[in-house]
């Protein structure tokens, strides 16, 4: 997973295709629990959805821009537009269920 380190890098990263952004911080327990789930998700759906991380302490302007009030917050972007927002820890199965409609369309588009 890629770590986004600036507002401009964030904008260029989410502008193309499907990108799941993890807003997190290293002091956040649920965020740390979410990391292995996201790593498995990124591996499983490589090529259909990119997964990137934004440390809200290091890139606060992005967190403010998207109104991040709780972490972890996951936002799915398609071609730069927010299409889904999830808040809090969840196991892989729940993440897949929440994003199912986007996973299906992303996989079909890749075929």
**What is the total count of domains within the chain?**
1
Give the per-residue pLDDT at 109: 47
In sequence order, what DSSP letters do the residues of 20-56 get, joined into one string?
Answer: EEEEE-TT-HHHHHHHHHHHHHHHHTTTT-EEEEEET
Give me the active site residues, please. 28, 31
Per-residue pLDDT of the chain (111 residues; tens, 9 = 90+): 899 999 999 999 999 999 999 999 999 999 999 999 999 999 999 888 999 999 999 999 999 999 999 999 999 999 999 999 999 999 999 999 999 988 864 444 444
Domain of residue 56: give its range: 2-110
- What's the token pair of residue 49? 């959805």
Give the per-residue pLDDT at 104: 62
pTM beyond 0.85: yes
> Around 40, how many Cα atoms within 13 Å sit in the side-chain half-sphere?
10
Q: The domain that contains 95 carries what CATH number?
A: 3.40.30.10
Give the per-residue pLDDT at 4: 95
Q: Kind of pairing, strands 18-24 and 73-78?
A: antiparallel
Give the per-residue pLDDT at 44: 93
């Amino acid at each position: 997973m890629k770590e986004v380190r600036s507002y401009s890098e964030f904008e260029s990263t989410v502008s193309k295709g499907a990108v799941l952004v993890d807003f997190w911080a290293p002091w956040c327990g649920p965020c740390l629990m979410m990391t292995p789930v996201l790593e498995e998700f990124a591996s499983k759906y490589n090529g259909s959805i990119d997964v990137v991380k934004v440390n809200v302490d290091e890139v606060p302007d992005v967190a403010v821009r998207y109104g991040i009030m709780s972490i972890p917050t996951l936002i799915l972007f398609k071609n730069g537009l927010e299409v889904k927002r999830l808040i809090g820890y969840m196991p892989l199965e729940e993440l897949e269920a929440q994003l199912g409609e986007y996973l299906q369309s992303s996989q079909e588009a890749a075929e």
